Amino acid sequence: MTQHNPVSRETFDQVMVPNYAPAKVVPVKGEGSRVWDQEGREFIDFAGGIAVNCLGHCHPALVKALTEQGQKLWHLSNVMTNEPALRLGQKLVDATFADKVYFANSGAEANEAALKLARRYALDHYGEQKDQIIAFKQGFHGRTFFTVTVGGQAAYSDGFGPKPGAVDHIAYNDVAALEALISDNTCAVMMEPIQGEGGIIKADPAFLNKVRELCDKHNALLIFDEVQTGMGRTGELYAYMGTDVTPDILTTAKALGGGFPIAAMLTTDAIAKSLKIGTHGSTYGGNPLACAVGEAVMDVVNDRQVLDGVKHKHQLFVDGLNAINAKYPIFETVRGEGLLLGAVLNSDYQGKARDVMVAAVEQGLMCLVAGASVVRFTPSLVIPDSDIVEGLARFEKAVASVAQG
């Protein structure tokens, strides 16, 4: 019998490209909102794999869907379709503004498809001069070269040679800047309804309405990147549903598969016609395993009781974080919506979000950062209230250790 050498965090440094700097702990098992590492140490998970594990770890409905599909059919090329993809596509269309769905594997791929579709739609209907894409500073849309260029963080896009052209960035929530920049040569405006990586910053309702109005005026498509805000994260199935604005194209990933890689681009019949046969493609997009899991996620999350529960849990977090801050005043504010929350460090603790995150791990809690000065929380949408209370107690100890130096 072959004896496998045990792996450890040191193995990462030996065999992995040094693109990440993972924590010293190596998780090996999860159940609900609890995770255990190689040493058997338990953590409460307020990170959710960065808004991915929307039903926690090893949710029975997802395990069942994956196991059953795994015994039927794993993969087909897109020369053929499959039942799980058709069922999930139907459910996404039934639940949203969209008429058509395109499946991919990641948020970046869904955004890549959305941007290519917007450019091709503009070319088909208005001519090649209509190619400008407007996006927002501190936005994040993925790590392909096109999506990272549209994302408004130069640190992620610089250093790889010439960037795709006709992409312009303005400040988020700045109506005047948008009015000054948009024109009949604009093919699309791409935005997150809540900037995630940029610090959990919500779009002002008046700004959102103006974006929609200006897109309509100039025949530009409005693309909502709901990779992080989608699938119940804000207490609505998609964040746009809590606004007065409907996008022309929406991208969804992360929580769509509850931890299994899947993404989708949603749009209308009229716009979808520009992705003719052969225009775009994805080897694994619409994979039966991924779509079967995605369908199970939809069945659980797209439920009023679950979505209302997200809003209730939001308030538990806000009240708990404010109570911690009353004892150890290191935060300026707590912002966000649903279970996408950011605790913003005040001027005395600028740049120390990672210190708080590391201290939290020491106390048995997994959380995130959104930039250098925002601690981010994206837990399971069905995290038990008792786990929120216990997790916040652990977080308080972490905050105390940072506040007391």
CB 103 within 8 A of CB 280: no
> Using one digit for the tens of pLDDT, what is the confidence trace for 45-67?
999 999 999 999 999 999 999 99
Catalytic position from the list 225, 248, 313, 387: 225
CB 286 within 8 A of CB 100: no
| Structure tokens belonging to residue 64 | 């069942």
3-class secondary-structure state, position 356: helix
17 pLDDT exceeds 60? yes
Catalytic position from the list 140, 260, 317, 331: 140
Q: What share of the chain is helix, strand, coil (3-state, %, to 5)?
A: 40, 20, 40
* 5: Cβ contacts below 8 Å, ≥ 6 apart: none
Task: Give the Å distances, CA to CA, from 401 to 11, 226, 360, 361, 363.
Answer: 30, 35, 9, 12, 10
| 107 in a known ligand binding site | yes
| 283 in a known ligand binding site | yes
> Using one digit for the tens of pLDDT, what is the confidence trace for 351-383?
999 999 999 999 999 999 999 999 999 999 999
CA distance 16 to 130: 43
| 373 in a known ligand binding site | no
CA distance 12 to 319: 39
Task: Please count the other Cβ atoms lying within 10 Å of the Cβ belonging to residue 250.
Answer: 27
Average confidence score pLDDT of the chain: 97
| 226 in a known ligand binding site | yes
Domain boundaries, the chain: 9-58+304-403, 73-301
Residue 225 designated active-site: yes
Residue 24 designated active-site: no
2 pLDDT exceeds 70? no
Q: What is the mean pLDDT of residues 290-311?
A: 98
**pTM of the complete model:** 0.96
CATH of domain 9-58+304-403: 3.90.1150.10
| 227 in a known ligand binding site | yes
Task: Please count the other Cβ atoms lying within 10 Å of the Cβ belonging to residue 359.
Answer: 21
Residue 46 designated active-site: no
3-class secondary-structure state, position 211: helix
- At the second CATH level, the architecture of 73-301 is 3-Layer(aba) Sandwich (3.40)
Catalytic position from the list 202, 254, 313, 352: 254
| Structure tokens belonging to residue 80 | 């053929």
